Structure 1
Amino acid sequence: MPKVKRSRGSGGAAKAASVPLAEQILQGDSVKPVTRVKRRGKAGEHGGGGEDEYVDERLSRRILEQARIQQEELEAEHGAAGGGEPEKAKTTVLGPSSKDRDSDTDDDEWPTLEQAAAMGKGEYCDEVTVNPEDEKAIEMFMNKNPPLRRTLADIIMEKITEKQTEVETVMSEISGRPMPQLNPRVLEVYKGVREVLSKYRSGKLPKAFKIIPALSNWEQILYITEPETWTAAAMYQATRIFSSNLKERMAQRFYNLVLLPRVRDDIAEYKRLNFHLYMALKKALFKPGAWFKGILLPICESGTCTLREAIIVGSILTKCSIPVLHSGAAMLKIAEMEYSGANSIFLRLLIDKKYALPFRVVDALVFHFLAFRTDRRTLPVLWHQCLLTFAQRYKEDLSSEQKEALLELLKFHSHPQISPEIRRELVNSKCRDVEGMQPVAME
């Protein structure tokens, strides 16, 4: 006897069991039309309506409400509402749209004007409060005769003149004809780009500007656009393009000759840093080696870095993740250069990132502090704070001789609140050159 197929579900099984055996045999021999019902989700099983009811009333109401809100926003944005809020109709999104985003996409989404204004009241554009005593203490260690700061225009004009004289001489000796100048059409195009960048706020950039990093004479072309006349938003977009498409050595030149002078001038003029320039500094860390060589180390070597500049640039170090090799090399260079008050700020921020530093860098930091044994000047509080941070983070990476030398240093330069903490950290810790050594009790 053929096996009777059980229908799906518990209801079908119960119904088949109540039918007599003879009728079940007759039903199995006969052919019945199959009525197949398509199941579209579980809405028909749990909903209160019929089979065609897929979305309940509550969810439908929410969908319609959201659609109405979106329609009102679109009408207000395109000015179709008429008589509404004129300020909201002109809301602009800073930076490039998602369709125009370059290959170097980053995690920093640009805010709207309202959000940028709210940020402006906070950490980016607010005036940095500086302690006058700390500022005077740092000015004591500044370079009294700083070297003349050269801009991109000075260097490019000097190079153009030298190269032009040299090449024209060679070309005239070979062919007897002078070297051709830039095509007038090229000059006309990039003078137009200069006009665009001097008024740029948001949106797409000219394609002629985006191809500058691919040109062999990119510095000369960049000079035509006059970077000193760019808006802050244009400087950010330029930093995105050059940091992504230039090699590290060329990006370093752009940071040093274009971005850094603009940042320092903006801080000196307004006592704060523009939001777009701050984001440009942050974006420039896409190439950390070029950032340290083009921005941080030159500002330390200049000997004229103010406390306000050090705080603003140092906040970039605090907020961004930087590879240990680049940070270690920067700490090594800063520790070896001539001291200025800003050096202590940058060293303390890099030390506070808690890297596993090589012993070479740790030893360089120790020698940096020990060099002040013969310095009779009153050191600023920033120097003592830097030494305390170093003792807290790397006390167990020091040798016994280094600890003794640092303890002797505290006798020459001491601070009533900070020096006892430094002594406690050094004394109650292990040494790297003695295994199993117990911490020495304080006298």
Structure 2
Amino acid sequence: MGKIKLEKKFHSKNLGGQIEEHESSTVQPKLYSKPPKKKKSEDKDESIDDGLSKKILSEARLQQRELAENEAPLATHNLMKKKKGKDPVDDSDDDSENESENENEVYEPVVVDEGEDKLFNKFLNPSSQPTRTLADIIMEKIKEKETEIGTNVGTEGVQGFDARVENLFKSVGEVLNKYRSGKLPKAFKAIPNLGDRWEEALFLTEPETWSAAAVFQGTRIFASNLKSDQAQTFYNLVLLPRIRDDIAEYKRLNFHLYQAIKKSLFKPAAFFKGFLLPLLESGTCSLREAVIIGSVLSKISVPVLHSSAALLRIAEMDYSGANSLFLRVLLEKRYALPYRVIDALVAHFCNFSMDKRELPVLFHQCLLTLAQRYKEDLSPEQKQHLFILMQNQSHPKITPEIRRELANSKCRGDDDMAVEPPSLEPLSVG
């Protein structure tokens, strides 16, 4: 009799149309499996359970720490219930992770030294282009795409979404505007599956009006389901402007947006190309932005190839204080870097040998990190160039430590060779 009741219950869910076909395949084995078969499957999967249990325990500990920090009660799901009549809500995915997060949680403000901040701002790019609104960026992207398609199609032109579909995505945007926790609309989760039309659908939801919690959920979904180049577009057009606006307005970063940056690193190539490198290339990254985003990057493991490419690209950029901070964060990960990357880093520092400007402390801290982590990967000529650099660019507390690290270490390719530092007299310029 119990089996018949279960069949009826499952049949009623199919009539409601709230569960997709692929979910039924995951539900049926649990409903109809027999105890003996469960024992056999458990015996067969013992080796897998050990690895999965470690991941589950680590995630559980992480969530427990987050719950301990979030003392305020969770938001209710009344808004989502009201929207069920307009847009079906997907009950298939487990959003307990989101429900355990406090909508009002923010990280402590970053304390920035005024003197260091002024020195840092001297290296910002004053000729950078004015920042456009997110809506302008997305609309321009869509118009370019439509023009390209219209040229290829000819006189047929480009047809937009059906009016009903447009209204659906606009109603999704209304939900995301006030979203705090709970289930997400099905139409929102379907955006990554729209192929070349996903950007247009995304624009209809008005991402610039999303709540911080919705930005996190959107980053989680798109990072998992979009291709790397598409995720790069989302990071650049949606996530990066939102992060910068939030830091500029509140002098700190909302908890959900902080988590969104962590989720974006799920695709490291897209993160560097669509988020970090554009931020540094803008030449307007503030010290506060660099410290907050750098703290996220320092906590996440990144493959060595992606980090090496990022180090190489940052070292070749026009200098700003933020460059030194992110170089230091990546060097602190202690990768076995290719010599090409190390050579580019040395050249990056040596370019300031004749620079008369006072460099920020971040520059000297980054050079110290390079000396500590990769001193034995430097050639004798490179060490001599760095000693010459420190004759003109020095810090009373950091530079002596850098000199000690370089002088008391082996050189690349020579087990016994050490480099004698030159005198401390500054070089004459001109």
Which bin holds the TM-score, normalised by the shorter protein? Answer: 0.7 to 0.9
CA drift of 1:342 comes to 0.7
Query: Hey, what does 2:427 align to over in structure 1?
Result: none
How many pairs align? 342
Query: Hey, what does 1:66 align to over in structure 2?
Result: none
What TM-score does the superposition give when structure 2 sets the normalisation length?
A: 0.74
CA drift of 1:251 comes to 0.3
What TM-score does the superposition give when structure 1 sets the normalisation length?
A: 0.72
Per-residue CA deviation, residues 107-161 of structure 1 (Å, 9 max, x unaligned), is: x9457467x76xx4xxx52111111011001100000111233455324433444
Distance 1:429 1:344 in 2: 24
Gaps in structure 2 of 5+ consecutive residues: 1-70, 78-88, 424-430
Distance 2:158 2:126 in 1: 44
For 1:211, give the aligned amino acid: A
Say if 1:236 and 1:402 are closer, same or farther in 2 by CA, change over 3 A. Answer: same
Query: Hey, what does 1:153 align to over in structure 2?
Result: 135
Per-residue CA deviation, residues 299-350 of structure 1 (Å, 9 max, x unaligned), is: 1111111110000000011111111111111111110000001111111111
Query: Hey, what does 2:379 align to over in structure 1?
Result: 399
Per-residue CA deviation, residues 209-257 of structure 1 (Å, 9 max, x unaligned), is: 1010111211111111000000000000000110000011110110011
Query: Hey, what does 2:347 align to over in structure 1?
Result: 367
Q: Does 1:306 align with 2:286?
A: yes
CA drift of 1:172 comes to 6.1
Distance 1:414 1:236 in 2: 42
Query: Hey, what does 1:382 align to over in structure 2?
Result: 362
Query: Hey, what does 2:60 align to over in structure 1?
Result: none
Partner SS for 1:374: coil
Say if 1:373 and 1:170 are closer, same or farther in 2 by CA, change over 3 A. Answer: closer
Alignment of 1:226-375 (within 5 A): 226-375=206-355
Query: Hey, what does 1:192 align to over in structure 2?
Result: 171
Task: State the superposition RMSD in angstroms.
Answer: 2.8
Query: Hey, what does 1:3 align to over in structure 2?
Result: none
Distance 1:296 1:385 in 2: 20
Say if 1:170 and 1:419 are closer, same or farther in 2 by CA, change over 3 A. Answer: closer
Alignment of 1:65-144 (within 5 A): 91-92=74-75, 100-101=93-94, 109-110=97-98, 112=100, 120=105, 124-144=106-126
Say if 1:387 and 1:256 are closer, same or farther in 2 by CA, change over 3 A. Answer: same
Distance 2:296 2:354 in 1: 34
Q: Does 1:180 align with 2:159?
A: yes
1:307–1:342: 8 Å Cα contact kept in structure 2? yes
For 1:101, give the aligned amino acid: D
Distance 1:305 1:194 in 2: 29
Distance 2:327 2:374 in 1: 13
CA drift of 1:436 comes to 3.0
Say if 1:379 and 1:90 are closer, same or farther in 2 by CA, change over 3 A. Answer: closer
For 1:208, give the aligned amino acid: A
More divergent stretch after superposition (394-403 vs 149-158): 149-158
Say if 1:166 and 1:275 are closer, same or farther in 2 by CA, change over 3 A. Answer: closer
In the alignment, which of 401, 406, 418 is matched to residue 426 of structure 1? 406
Per-residue CA deviation, residues 23-57 of structure 1 (Å, 9 max, x unaligned), is: xxxxxxxxxxxxxxxxxxxxxxxxxxxxxxxxxxx
1:93–1:111: 8 Å Cα contact kept in structure 2? no
Partner SS for 1:289: helix
Distance 1:166 1:241 in 2: 28
**Structure of higher RCO (CA pairs closer than 8 Å, 6+ residues apart):** 2
Distance 2:306 2:247 in 1: 26
Distance 1:227 1:322 in 2: 27
Distance 1:205 1:312 in 2: 28
1:93–1:110: 8 Å Cα contact kept in structure 2? no
Distance 1:179 1:111 in 2: 41
2:384–2:421: 8 Å Cα contact kept in structure 1? no
Distance 2:281 2:161 in 1: 36
2:74–2:100: 8 Å Cα contact kept in structure 1? yes
Say if 1:406 and 1:159 are closer, same or farther in 2 by CA, change over 3 A. Answer: closer
Say if 1:91 and 1:270 are closer, same or farther in 2 by CA, change over 3 A. Answer: closer
Q: Does 1:205 align with 2:184?
A: yes
CA drift of 1:409 comes to 0.8
For 2:393, give the aligned amino acid: H
Work out which of the two has the higher radius of gyration on C-alpha atoms and give 1 or 2: 1
Say if 1:91 and 1:182 are closer, same or farther in 2 by CA, change over 3 A. Answer: closer
1:93–1:113: 8 Å Cα contact kept in structure 2? no
1:400–1:431: 8 Å Cα contact kept in structure 2? yes
Distance 2:148 2:372 in 1: 57
CA drift of 1:163 comes to 4.8
In the alignment, which of 213, 219, 238 is matched to residue 199 of structure 2? 219
Per-residue CA deviation, residues 391-418 of structure 1 (Å, 9 max, x unaligned), is: 1111000000000111111111111111
More divergent stretch after superposition (372-381 vs 158-167): 158-167
Partner SS for 2:351: helix
Per-residue CA deviation, residues 142-201 of structure 1 (Å, 9 max, x unaligned), is: 00111233455324433444454565566564xxx6543321111111111111111111
